[in-house]
Amino acid sequence: MMQDSSADAVADPSRLAILANRLESIARQMAHTLHRTGRSGLINTARDLSCCILTARHELLSEAESLPSHVLVGPDIMSEWLQRWHPNPRPGDAFLHNSPYHGNSHAADHAIMVPVIDDAGVHRFTVFAKAHQADIGNSRPTSYFSAARDVYEEGALIFPGVQVQRDYRDIDDIVRMCRLRIRVPDQWWGDYQALIGAARIGERLLLALGNEIGWDALEQHAADWFDYSERRMRAALRKLPSGRTTASSVHDPFPGTPTEGVPINVTVEVDGDAGRIEVDLRDNPDCLPNGMNVSEANASAAVMIGIFSSIGETVPRNAGSYRCIAIRLRENCCVGGARHPASCSLSTTNLASKIGNATQCAIAGLAEGFGLAEAGTIVPASMAVISGRDPRYDNRPFINSLFLMHTGGAGAPSADAWLTTVHIGDLGLCYLDSVELDELRYPLRVVRRGIETDSEGAGRFCGAPAGICEYGPTGDPMEAWFASDGTVNAPLGVRGGLEGGRSAQFKRNRDGSLTPVEPCGGVVLHPGETLVARCCGGGGYGDPLDREPERVTEDVKEFRISAERAGAVYGVVLDPNGEVDEKATIALRRRLRPVS
Amino acid sequence: MAESGSNGSASRHGQRVRIACDVGGTFTDLVVSGQNGFQLFKSESTPADPLIGIVAALELAARAHGASVASFLAHVETVAHATTRGTNALLTGGAAKTAFLTTEGHRDILLLREGGRLNPYDNTQSFPPPYVPRALTFEVPERMGASGEIVRRLDEEELDGIIDRLAEREVEAVAVCLLWSVVNPAHEIRVGERLAAKLKGIPFTLSHRLNPIVREYRRASAAAIDASLKPLMSGYLANLDAHLRALGFAGRLFVVTSQGGFIEASAAAEAPIHMVNSGPSVAPVAGRHVARLDTSGADAIVADTGGTSYDLSLVRNGRLPWTSETWLGGRFTGHMTGFPSVDVRSIGAGGGSIAWVDEGGLLHVGPKSAGAEPGPACYGRGGASSTVTDCALALGYLDPDSFLGGRMRLNAAAARRCIEMEIARPLRLSIEDAALAVIDVLTQNMVSAIEEITVQQGIDPAAAVLVAGGGAAGFNSVHIARRLGCPATLFPQTGAALSAAGALLSDLVFVAGRVQYARSDVPDISTIQAALAALSAQIAKFTANAGPQAVEIDYWVEARYPQQTWEIEVPLAGCDLRSSADLARIVGDFHDMHQKLYAVCDRASPIEMIAWRARASCRAPEVAPRGLAGRRSHPAGGRRRIYLGGEGWTMVPLHPFPSVAPGTTIAGPAIIESSVTTIVVPPRSRAIRLGSGTLKVEPVGAASS
């Protein structure tokens, strides 16, 4: 541990903590508002949303319960662009921003940005609310259009910092336009209002805070908070050994990719003495002629996720801790260099997962106790965008992304995975749909949902098992779109840990037989047919032969793994009562261990 | 130890007495309500057998009345029983081996929950196990559809086979949750019949009966928790009842619920889930009472500072706050009860909270607590962490010789040593300033927690009072109020036993609801009327049985915009809805409320009304004004040397709480102390003893901390 940590002790520790909490509390209020008032299942059930506060100098200051892929990097870049486009914001302004070429994630994430302006007319902060939309007017009924050659074929409406409110009132031109180009426009309108409400709540609270303690004091707090965060980050990085390592993670072949898929290479260099880390994404292919390109924001955020997941929970994530991080990107690279008109429809999900996974695996390679295994990859058929008409309600149209099953948690140095993780982008923050709510809202039935035995990423600490669900329409035909990575390339383990279960997708025909379906694209399901959707598990951390035998027996008792797998993979032998046979286990583990 | 707000014996012959008993993790609080007001007794809790602590407290009470336990109990009309942490303790140690039966294909309802995570970068916490293990989860071949249609008929032969396996596995309780049983309960009912027939004596819970809501996880979780508590809690309640009666009690035994009221012990045994968190849920009842008595009906922030947790709630317009999401254990790491409950938020902050400095030089307080064992460093039981109590001692707030009425001697040197090593040196502060910084951070944690809920509920703290309960409330509550801009802090006389006092003030409560969907653009007034009529009939039946007390009825509708999934509660003027004008008023109220809560509303949109609910409360008997005259003399006050921010060590007057006469004003800085609590009245504030016994502290001059 650093000997000089107390030399950097903050001047007024209680005040620093106080204001940090107050700001985080504001971000949390914003997120709560969005969650409770949204209309699409994505927002009000799955919670695919984020809220944060930025300084007027475009630095990320505070966030709460927000998706890492939405906030760690992106809002800062968007804020810079917004200032370039609207240099003199006024109270009552609000801006809609979803351009992946100017700091956003994929176009389906609509962000509302509101400048917070004090009584003297000075722009002090910007509040930011973002949510994944059920539809954004794409040419296909999906917000993940992987086969789109470019943004034109993708069809997304792009709003590069477009003003949508003036004097606290909607600019109706934009609303009319969206209502004609976005499917199920009332749903979009409700979600738009929820975003506005969240941003206005944030504005209201931040104005009160600034007026209470003084704007200069609040800005001084931001500076102190960044300095504090930087010190925390340096202290964390100094625990890592210096070194340079490269990890690779391969995305499955999709339309528009080479037949062997897309390998993503991430090189991590740690300077432990200086407390710095540099991550290089430049050794990767140029933009792809499909929707898989990753925006600058998403690529950087994925790197940040890999880093922060690797070093521990308590280091604040903001512009201060970022001073210890350098990310190298390359113009026109498919990860981080996407430029117009390359499509970024899958920017948040597919290759972004590869970046985050490779980053945390690379760090795991540096030293025991750091990093993580690979998390599951997406977008599986259990998270499809479904659409159609609902015969129960006068054939009204519906569209939404399901969050029926996601079990992608990665094995960690000292704990098993967080099961209900979507991927590196949410780290478990997204909720799972309720079967009953989905069946109430859409004309579908969920036949089954659960985890699969023997599909965990085996390790000293295990990655999550694969999940499976099966669902189909109860009325008219229903479309389901997905972009399921991990069918070929499983989530990898680290430090001797094994890979987690792969994804898979089938159509169950009326006679009960199964037909494989393409992992990427859309299928139409007719009444009587179901989609069998398997989502990835996560990789394991450490050698499964080092897993505590008691954990293995518990896994067997709970039907997470079979007794056969306990022996073959973990080297644990159970006695007739299901308890550890210690002698036999020691002998078996000795036999299974490679002779060194 | 006893703290009395009354004059002499409350149980003279012929006088009826009511008792509330709150079994907490550390102390068992007993409050006796007689003609002359409340008396408070505290005994140490005995987690292994709560009865021992209860009986010990009864003995204290009887002795104070100069009576035997038997003759004292003979005058007791009602006993209201609450368990603050008791249920949680039971859950960790004593819940029954419970099986879970659910629809085939959906075995993992309890494992998956609803997803979500609090600390996404914390990879040291594994995913929590399901409330009922998968090994005790069984899939029943059957399926209902969303509109109640039978998709797959229940296979009774298979079901009987499952029940045979339950017997083989020697399960002690069974929870049943089938999909859509709320719309068509036929299958669930049939499963119940087979269980009753084949597993005699094994209690079970059917989800649709216990908690008829859509969202299978919440219903399943409620059923599982409830079933698992049945064997133990029904046994415990029967035992308590028998024991009290053997001691001479002949009145009615009530149990406090997590919904802030109480129900007959026999009803609680049928659905013991309602006892979860029952103690904290009545603290706001006491807070509301204090606010009614001591202010002109101001909104109240009710805070109860215990050893490990700070329990918070808001009383607004005299109403208790509600939440539809109640967790047993942590959010996302515990289990949802699936029930609405009095909205009491807890943060890990209290007298035992541990202070620490992180690698970046930032001071933290909690959420870890030193608990009762080993306790704060000053307890001298081997505790090596600086706690809030240690800091209060180092600042001179506490006297090492008179803590808890002198029952425990505190080691001031140990506290100072610990603060110096853990806090003062890393922060380069003096021990006193380090201790002050700890209190400041604690204050902030508490303020943040309050701000979050006040903001969420749209309450302006500047227009609310802070009701400060709990033994450790006195160190910083005035500072908290000042930070929030509250005009006053109220320390109720029974504040150290806020929950037990709340139980005595609680109403007998009955909640009824009808799910009747309606849309404001195509209203069917007659179906709404029918729902409200049915509701009002249910309420009438309850009130007819309730006796002569005053009954207060609140009606509300849960409404939302189309496609939202979370409703907000819109109060109704009554159960009459006659015209479209009445409906328009509801719709207008909804828009207004949405605007106030969420900064937007959509006046052009219709609204959906989902459920119509009513809550009838039979008012607890009014508590007589407390006479304070003629009391025995208390030890004279004195002076105490305390450390004040910006002023350093200062001699301040010390006043025994019980001897401060009503109407007396005490200027800060001062200490006001009783055997169960120590209240710091800081500079630039003054304390006034009110006629109710409450101590009110308000700022003087410009408020600043």
pLDDT exceeds 80 at position B460: no
Which residues touch A431 (CB under 8 Å, ≥6 apart)? Answer: A45, A46, A47, A403, B114, B115, B116
Domain boundaries, chain B: 2-90+234-275, 97-202, 353-441, 508-618, 642-699
Please name the residue of chain B whose CA is at the shortest distance from the CA of residue A309. B121
β-bridge partners, A523: A480
Q: Which of B452, B563, B601 to mutate to test the interface with A (most CBs of A within 10 A)?
A: B563
pLDDT band at B266 (very low <50, low <70, confident <90, very high): confident
| Chain A nearest CA to B561, separation (Å) | 8
Cβ neighbourhood burial of B469 (10 Å; 0-12, 13-18, 19+): buried
**How do beta strands B341-342 and A530-535 pair?**
unpaired
All residues of chain A having their beta carbon less than 8 Å from the beta carbon of residue B441 are 13-14, 17-18
Cβ distance B282 to B260 under 8 Å?
Answer: yes
pLDDT exceeds 80 at position B548: no
Q: Do A44 and B363 touch (CB under 8 A)?
A: no
Return the residue matching tokens 């550390």. B26
Question: Mean per-residue pLDDT for B53-61?
Answer: 90
Q: Do B120 and A32 touch (CB under 8 A)?
A: no
Distance CA B10, CA B107 (A): 56
Q: What is the rounded average pLDDT for all residues in chain A?
A: 95
Looking at domain B508-618, which of 3.30.1490, 3.30.70, 1.10.10, 2.60.40 is its CATH number? 3.30.1490
- Smallest Cβ–Cβ distance between A13 and the set B114, B359, B437 belongs to B437
Predicted local confidence at residue A298, as pLDDT: 98
| Fold of the CATH domain B2-90+234-275 | Nucleotidyltransferase; domain 5 (3.30.420)
All residues of chain A having their beta carbon less than 8 Å from the beta carbon of residue B134 are 558-560
- Which of left, alpha, beta for B66 (phi over 0: left; psi -120 to 50: alpha)? left
- What is the DSSP-derived secondary structure letter of residue B96? -
* 3-state SS, residue B89: helix
Phi and psi of A467, rounded to 5°? -110, 155
pLDDT exceeds 70 at position B364: yes
pLDDT band at B636 (very low <50, low <70, confident <90, very high): low
All residues of chain B having their beta carbon less than 8 Å from the beta carbon of residue A194 are 598, 600
* 3-state SS, residue B77: strand
Model confidence over B304-349: pLDDT tens digits? Answer: 987 778 889 999 888 888 777 888 877 899 899 888 888 888 888 8
Phi and psi of B79, rounded to 5°? -120, 125
- What is the DSSP-derived secondary structure letter of residue A493? P
Residue type, B361: G
Predicted local confidence at residue B319, as pLDDT: 82
Q: Which of B100, B117, B123, B561 to mutate to test the interface with A (most CBs of A within 10 A)?
A: B123
Question: Percentage of chain A surpassing pLDDT 70?
Answer: 97
Q: What is the rounded average pLDDT for all residues in chain B?
A: 86
Distance CA B207, CA B188 (A): 8
Predicted local confidence at residue A9, as pLDDT: 56
Predicted model pTM: 0.88
pLDDT band at B25 (very low <50, low <70, confident <90, very high): low
Distance CA A196, CA A41 (A): 18
Q: Note whether B358 contacts A: Cβ–Cβ < 8 A.
A: yes
Q: Do B123 and A430 touch (CB under 8 A)?
A: no
Token pair for B683: 């500079």
- What is the DSSP-derived secondary structure letter of residue B420? I
**Count, residues in chain B:** 705
Q: Do A415 and B151 touch (CB under 8 A)?
A: no
All residues of chain A having their beta carbon less than 8 Å from the beta carbon of residue B594 are 37
Cβ distance A37 to B600 under 8 Å?
Answer: yes
Q: Is the peptide bond before A87 cis (omega within 30 degrees of 0)?
A: no
Radius of gyration for chain A, computed over Cα atoms and rounded to the nearest angstrom: 24
- C-beta contacts of B517-521 below 8 A and 24+ residues apart: B517/B608, B517/B609, B517/B610, B518/B608, B518/B609, B519/B562, B519/B606, B519/B607, B519/B608, B519/B609, B520/B583, B520/B586, B520/B587, B520/B606, B520/B607, B520/B608, B520/B609, B521/B606
Distance CA A191, CA A131 (A): 8
The 3-class secondary structure across B133-180, one letter per residue, is CHHHEEEECCEECCCCCEEECCCHHHHHHHHHHHHHCCCCEEEEECCC
CA distances from A329 to A60, A102, A298, B356 (A): 20, 15, 12, 40
Distance CA A586, CA A316 (A): 43
Please name the residue of chain A whose CA is at the shortest distance from the CA of residue B563. A39
Cβ neighbourhood burial of A259 (10 Å; 0-12, 13-18, 19+): exposed
Cβ distance A540 to A487 under 8 Å?
Answer: no
Farthest CA pair distance, chain B: 81
Cβ distance A524 to A355 under 8 Å?
Answer: no
- Which of left, alpha, beta for A92 (phi over 0: left; psi -120 to 50: alpha)? left
Q: Tell me which of A510-519, A546-555, B609-618 is least confident.
A: B609-618
pLDDT exceeds 60 at position A315: yes
Question: Mean per-residue pLDDT for A252-279?
Answer: 96
Question: Mean per-residue pLDDT for B599-625?
Answer: 81
- Smallest Cβ–Cβ distance between B361 and the set A8, A317, A414 belongs to A8
| Chain B nearest CA to A234, separation (Å) | 9
State ipTM.
0.95
Q: Tell me which of B421-430, B501-510, B566-575 is least confident.
A: B501-510
Q: Tell me how many residue pairs between chain A and chain B have CB atoms under 8 A apart.
A: 248
Q: Tell me which of A15-24, A35-44, A121-130, B293-302 is least confident.
A: A15-24
All residues of chain B having their beta carbon less than 8 Å from the beta carbon of residue A28 are 452
pLDDT exceeds 60 at position B136: yes
Cβ neighbourhood burial of A2 (10 Å; 0-12, 13-18, 19+): middle
Model confidence over A7-59: pLDDT tens digits? Answer: 355 667 667 877 888 898 899 999 999 999 999 999 999 999 999 999 999 99
Q: Tell me which of A336-345, B208-217, B387-396 is least confident.
A: B208-217
Token pair for A42: 């994505």
All residues of chain B having their beta carbon less than 8 Å from the beta carbon of residue A447 are 105
- Smallest Cβ–Cβ distance between B146 and the set A6, A415, A440 belongs to A440
Q: Note whether B333 contacts A: Cβ–Cβ < 8 A.
A: no
Please name the residue of chain B whose CA is at the shortest distance from the CA of residue A196. B600
Distance CA A464, CA A451 (A): 9
- Smallest Cβ–Cβ distance between B123 and the set A16, A22, A415 belongs to A415
All residues of chain A having their beta carbon less than 8 Å from the beta carbon of residue B600 are 37, 193-194, 196-197, 200
Distance CA A159, CA A15 (A): 39
Please name the residue of chain B whose CA is at the shortest distance from the CA of residue A11. B427
Helix locations, B261-303, DSSP H: 265-270, 278-294
Model confidence over B603-615: pLDDT tens digits? Answer: 999 999 988 988 8
Model confidence over A248-258: pLDDT tens digits? Answer: 999 999 999 99
Q: Do A40 and B563 touch (CB under 8 A)?
A: yes
Q: Note whether B425 contacts A: Cβ–Cβ < 8 A.
A: yes
pLDDT exceeds 80 at position A320: yes
Of the candidates B355, B386, B353, B357, the one whose C-alpha atom is nearest the C-alpha of residue B371 is: B353
